[in-house]
Amino acid sequence: MAGPSAPILYPVMWARDAGASFLRPPAEMRAVMEAAGFRVRAWDDITAETAQVVEAIRKAVEEGTSGAQAKIAELEALVVTLREQIAAGEDPTETLAMIDAGQAELRTAVQSIIADVLPDPQTTSRRR
């Protein structure tokens, strides 16, 4: 949903540009769902919790404390190598495997940061 923040910097995971992005403010989205016949059973604004996690990830990456920054740099170099291999007609299988492993390691680093911020997301209370 669209929030009260600055304009979105594209591309994002759901759209390459604003023409393909259809975010709506929360109140408008709720009205759309109710008009479509859905009954809202819970409506929790988790903006603050999400911002806390995003800020922790940004800080850990900037400070280099999570290993994420090094992993991002390694993945960027592997992507350059992959492009060069494809352009040269070489077999990129090993590089693809290294990228896959690197992505898994980056995911683990980010999940560790999240766990430090939200130790047990299963116990977060929700209004019902």
Domain count across the chain: 2
Residues 74 and 89 grouped into a single domain: yes
What residues make up the domain containing 17?
A: 8-43
At residue 14, the pLDDT reads 86
Query: Is cis: bond before 11, omega within 30 of 0?
Result: yes
Residues 89 and 64 grouped into a single domain: yes
Query: pTM score, two decimals?
Result: 0.52
Residues 35 and 52 grouped into a single domain: no
- Residue 49, helix vs strand vs coil: helix
* Look-up of token digits 């990228």: 99
Residues 90 and 52 grouped into a single domain: yes
101-123 pLDDT, tens per residue? Answer: 988 888 888 888 777 776 565 65
77-104 pLDDT, tens per residue? Answer: 999 999 999 999 999 999 999 999 988 8
26-68 pLDDT, tens per residue? Answer: 889 999 999 999 999 998 888 888 888 888 888 877 887 777 7
> Does 71 reside within a domain?
yes
Residues 78 and 36 grouped into a single domain: no
> Does 106 reside within a domain?
yes
